[in-house]
Amino acid sequence: MSSRLALTSSLAPRETAFSYMCRLAARNALPVGVFGNDMGIPFSSIVAGRRDAILRLSEISGASCDDLLAWTPENTGDREHQFRGQTFHAKAVKETTVRGCPICLRQDSESADGPSAESMALRGHWMLRPATICLHHRHPLVPLWHEAEPVRRYDTAARFAEIADAILSGALDRPLRETSPFEHWFETRLAIEHDSQGNWLDQFSLYPAAHFCELLGRAAFATKIPKWKKMPPERLWCCFDLGYTFASKGEEHIRDALSQLQQLIGTPTDGPKKKFGDLYDRLAHDLTGEDYRPFRDLLRDHIATTWPLGPGDALVGEPVLERRVHSVLTAARETGIDARRLRKLLSEAGWVKPAGEGREDAWELFDAVAAAPFLRSLGSGVNAPELREKLSISRSQFDLLRQDGYFAPTLGGDGHKPLWDIQAGRSFIDGLLTGATPIYVPMHDWSDIASAAQRLKIRPGQIVSMIEGRKLTRVGKHLGRDGYAAILVDFAEVERRLERPEAKGLSIELFAKTAGLRHRTAMRLVRDGHVPTTEGMNPKTKAKQRFLSPADIDAFHRRFVTLRHLAALLGLSWQSLRTILKDASVAPFAPDGEDIGAIFEWEVIEKLFCCRWPTPIRRVP
């Protein structure tokens, strides 16, 4: 095998190594797979951007290895690619739809003597999701082909041969448009240059910054386009550019944009997820890596300081543990004072603007911590009906809870009716809701305390006691209700905690849900014997199957604890706890070195971090 091919091709500007290899194979009249086998260069290794393979390609072709590497994404594992000195997620750099500029491709064909398949080159920057236009021709990047299988997708010579006529005839051409400021900034960053004007986004990794621009732009467009309606692909550039308009100018402009959005869309009770859509949802649940931390922290801090959230609410994937900001409405609910009267009192004390001068009660905010003494001074005793109404407790539930030692009156005795402190009652409810999961529509085993107690034929105080003692890992907050009626529990978990000998076991799937595990993780733990199971008969199919009895589940909780459960026990956010555990060298349980999620052994936790001493919630006196 000779070291240099007799028939070679010139490397096009910004061409990927796999595109070049396909053209080289076509030049030598071979399919790229056969060509790669003959040359000792598996095509899949070129698609993955392996440096040793690209070096070999350079040796046989005479093309510059540095130029080949410069515009070819390198698969570094864990669904990440290195490209232009930046890290990109696989979905951002290797989409199943391949796009390109038909004018560039026509020029490739016109400047070569051979067939189009040997001359049309795929450029590296076309692969990136935020790239939506050819800056040289001002032509939008258009879909060329769609292919799920990577080797077929990047066999560019074969794919170009299928669509060459459409490209040459202009059938794929689209109207030209002006390039946007975002597109110029993105191109500058790809060229490894920075904006001389000190663009705020330049301090961050390229793709997370571009992705944040897209999400912010989507949120802004939601005022005109419903969230359920997808942005057409040919208009995606508008989202990037609109978000860039705010983000490039820094935090103050981003916060201004967020404030405008939350005033335009709905009320505070709608929640930030409903208002900000994917911007909130993705940062809260999917984009949890370090590269996204600055944007996640900015959104979290903005919402925490401009939104009247309290215990039982969730903020960017973390439970709200204490209230930082009150609105007139949330303070009225907490104190039991009519909102109109309370606003007058607050404005006279200088906490808010008078009605008619400031914002509506739902958005007229003030510092909850600083104003706490003033609000307490307004507190006055209320009778039992008023307390029940303010806390959304039925008379029967209230009487049963009182019999179990809850809701003792603040002022009692002979000769007068007992009175209760409404703020103390509200504080007790908030304590039960601390760390709760927001629930829009209760489904499956979610149940309010009254219904669960009735079905199990127990007193509601038993369930409240379980929540107090952190014995329940799944507590929810019904977002359509308030107070005691908003507290939800997992019926199956409550039943199991009662330790009834006749209580049914849980399937592995249901156990995973109640324990806060992924189903795959639970299956792995059971299969490898880390979690004991019991064999029984499926009540529907009558077939034998493995399930977890109460004793099996207790054995699991004696040995393991999930990150979220440990965070609830310690009163910390799960994201901050993850960092603390990492600093304390507490590693998750990883059987055979496999990452199965954020689950820890109590033995390791107690040895390196803390003892197993959950702190109970204090009862209302």
Average confidence (pLDDT) over 120-126: 96
| Burial group, residue 52, by CB count within 10 angstroms (0-12, 13-18, 19+) | exposed
User: What pLDDT does residue 415 have?
Assistant: 56
Mean pLDDT along residues 166-170: 94
User: Looking at residue 197, what is its pLDDT?
Assistant: 61
Kind plus residue range of the DSSP H or E element containing 109? helix 102-110
pLDDT digits (tens, 9 = 90+) for 171-193: 999 999 999 999 999 999 998 76
Give residue limits of the domains in the chain. Answer: 17-169, 181-307, 391-503, 505-621
- 403-420 residue pLDDT tens: 999 998 876 656 567 778
Q: Would you tell me how many other CB atoms lie within 10 Å of the CB of residue 180?
A: 18
Q: What is the mean pLDDT of residues 240-256?
A: 93
Lowest mean pLDDT among 10-14, 502-506, 555-559: 502-506
Q: Is the pLDDT of residue 265 over 70?
A: no
349 φ/ψ angles, rounded to the nearest 5 degrees: -90, 0
- 156 and 100 Cβ atoms separated by less than 8 Å: no
7 in helix, strand or coil?
A: coil
Which pTM was predicted?
A: 0.67
pLDDT for the residue 504? 61
Q: Is the pLDDT reported for residue 225 higher than 70? A: no
At 68-110, the pLDDT tens digits run 999 999 999 888 999 999 999 998 999 999 999 999 999 999 8
How far apart are the C-alpha atoms of 317 and 313, rounded to whole Å? 10
Is it the case that residue 161 has pLDDT exceeding 60?
A: yes
What share of the chain in percent tops pLDDT 70? 91
pLDDT at 129: 93
pLDDT mean over 458-473? 90
pLDDT of residue 533: 84
pLDDT of residue 619: 38
| pLDDT tens-digit series, residues 357-400 | 988 888 899 999 999 888 877 766 788 898 899 899 999 999 99
From the list 357, 451, 356, the residue with the least C-alpha distance to 396 is 451
pLDDT at 223 exceeding the cut of 90: no
